[in-house]
Amino acid sequence: MREYRVLFDLLVSALAKTIEKAMSAEQDALNNIAEINRGITELVAEVNKNRDRIAGLEDTRDASEMQWEETAGKHGDLIKKIHEEWDKEGKKARDKEYLKTLLKATDNVCLELPTLRVFMDSYESIAMEWLERIKRPSEKDIADLKDIYIQAANVVGATCSISGSARFREKHSNFDVVIVDEISKATLPELVLPCLAGEKIILIGDDKQLPPMIGPETITELANRLGTPAEKLRHLEQSFFARLWKAAPERQKSMLNIQYRMHPDIMEAINQFYGDALECGIPEPDEALKHGCGGELVTEDHHLLWISTPKGGKFGEMKESKTFYNEGELEITERVLERLHEAWAKNSDGRIKKVGVITFYSAQAKKLKKMLSDQATNYPLFDFRIGTVDRFQGMEREIVLVSMVRNNDVRNIGFAKEPERINVAFSRAKELLVIIGCASLFCWEARDCAAKSIYRKVAETVRRKGRFIKDVSKLLNN
C-alpha cells in the first residue's frame, strides 16, 4: 500500500512542479523546460520500478500514518484531498481489482509521457530560437516587435506632424479619443492632423501663454507677398487655441485651476493672468519647495526676489543687430549665482540644483551662455539651462533668474510688454524666482500701460512676499 501512495505522491509532485515552473516569472524559460524534462524522466523510471510491486500488493492497509502525514505536509492540500478520497473509498481500497484499475490508469499516464516529452523538446527549440533572435535581432525583428507592442497598446503618443504622416495612418486606425497637449503653440494646420484621427477631441493648453512662433518679420514678408497691410495679418500671431477658447460654449470648456509646479508666493505673482483663480495643490509647499539657498541675499522663507537696476550708465541696454543685451545685468546675474551657489553648497547634501537663466533677447542669452560656460567650474552643484523666454515655454526649473535687459530713456520695453511672454517668464520657477531689471522703467515709465500695470502688481507681490532690492552697489562691491 505504501508503494501505491508513493506513486500518487510522485505523480502529484511532478504535476505541482510543472505548474510551479510554468507560472514562475523569475525562472529562465530554458531552465524550466530542462527541469520539467528531468522530472518526467524520473517519474517514468520510478513508475517502471514500482509497477510490478504494485501489481502484487495484498489488500492490506498501510499503518504508517505518520509517513503519510509527512507526505501530505510536503505537497499540500492536493495530496491531502487524495488521502481523504482514499479513506472515503476504504472498502474499495482493500479490493485487489480496484488496485489493478488504478495501476492501469497509471500505465495510461505513462503512455502519455513520451508525447509530453516531444512537446517539451519542440518548445525548447522554439524558446532557444526566440532567445537567440532577441539577443541578435535583425531590423525586421525590431520592426515586428515594435508593431506587436504598438498594436497591443491602447495609448499612443505622437507629435502633431507625425500623426498626419502616411506611415502613422497606415499603422493606426481612428482613435476613440485624441488629446492634444500644449495646444497654444500649435498652428491650425498642425492641429488639423491629429483631430482628423479622433472620434472625440480634447484640447489642453494655456491661452495666457505664448502662441506659435510667428515673428514680425514673417508677418511683414507674408503681407508683401499677398499685397495686404501687415495689420490685417496680426491675427496670425494670436494662438488659435485662444480663439477657440473664446468662441467655445461654456459647457465645452473647463479651467484647470489647481497648479502643482510652484510655491504659492510665485503663483501669486502670476495669478493676475488667470483672474486670481489659481490655487496651489502641493501639500505643505513651504517644506516641499524649500530652495535651500537661504543666506545673505535671500532667506529660506523668500521665494521672490527683484533686484532693481539703476537707469542708464553701465546698466543701459546695448543694441546688437536687431536684438539687445545688457552688460550690467550680466554682472548682477554672476553675483547672484555666486551667492546662491555658496548658500546651496552649505545647506545641501551635494544634490544638484536645476537652475534656469531666462532673458527676453537672444543677444543676452548668448552672452549668458558664454559667461556661464567659461565659469562652469564655479558652479559644480548647479545644472544650468539658459535661453530666451520663448524657448522656455513648457519647461520648469527649481530656481529661475530672469534678465529683463531693456533699460532706456525712451520708455520702450520691447518684447517684454506682451502679457503672454511675461507670464511664461515668471512662471517657470518652482522654488525661487529672481527678477533682474530696472523696476522704474517696467513698473512706472513704460509706454505700454497694460504691461506697466502687470509689472507693478508683480513688484507689489515681491515687496509683500519676498525681497525687493533697490541698491545694487552692495551686491556688486562684495
In angstroms, the CA 15 to CA 422 distance is 71
Looking at residue 47, its pLDDT comes to 54
pLDDT band of residue 346 (cuts 50, 70, 90) is very high
Looking at residue 274, its pLDDT comes to 95
Looking at residue 4, its pLDDT comes to 42
Do residues 359 and 388 touch, judged by C-beta distance below 8 A?
yes
Q: What is the pTM of this model?
A: 0.68
Three-state SS at 67: helix
Do residues 406 and 317 touch, judged by C-beta distance below 8 A?
yes
Within 13 Å of residue 397, how many CA atoms lie on the same side as its CB? 26
Q: What stretches of 181-292 adopt beta strand conformation (E)?
A: 198-203, 258-259, 279-280
In angstroms, the CA 235 to CA 228 distance is 13
pLDDT digits (tens, 9 = 90+) for 20-55: 444 443 445 445 555 555 655 665 565 555 555 544
Looking at residue 368, its pLDDT comes to 97
Three cell numbers, residue 7: 506513486
418 contacts: CB under 8 Å, gap ≥ 6: 451
Q: Tell me: pLDDT of 61 over 60.
A: no
Which residue(s) pair with 15 in the sheet? Answer: none
**Percent of the chain at pLDDT exceeding 70:** 70
pLDDT band of residue 260 (cuts 50, 70, 90) is very high
pLDDT digits (tens, 9 = 90+) for 210-257: 877 665 556 667 777 778 886 776 666 677 888 888 888 999 999 999
Better-predicted residue by pLDDT, 92 or 422? 422
Three-state SS at 361: coil
Q: What stretches of 13-124 adopt beta strand conformation (E)?
A: none
Neighbours of 385 (CB within 10 A): 15
Looking at residue 331, its pLDDT comes to 96
- For 388-415, what is the mean pLDDT? 94
In angstroms, the CA 220 to CA 229 distance is 8
In angstroms, the CA 29 to CA 33 distance is 6
pLDDT digits (tens, 9 = 90+) for 129-173: 777 777 888 888 888 878 888 778 888 888 888 888 888 887 787
- Rounded to 5 degrees, φ, ψ at 256 are -90, 100
Measure the CA dihedral 371/372/377/379, to 10°: 140
**Exposure string over 395-432, b if 16+ CB within 10 A, otherwise e:** eebbbbbbbbbbbbeeeebbbbbbbbbbbbbbbbbbbb
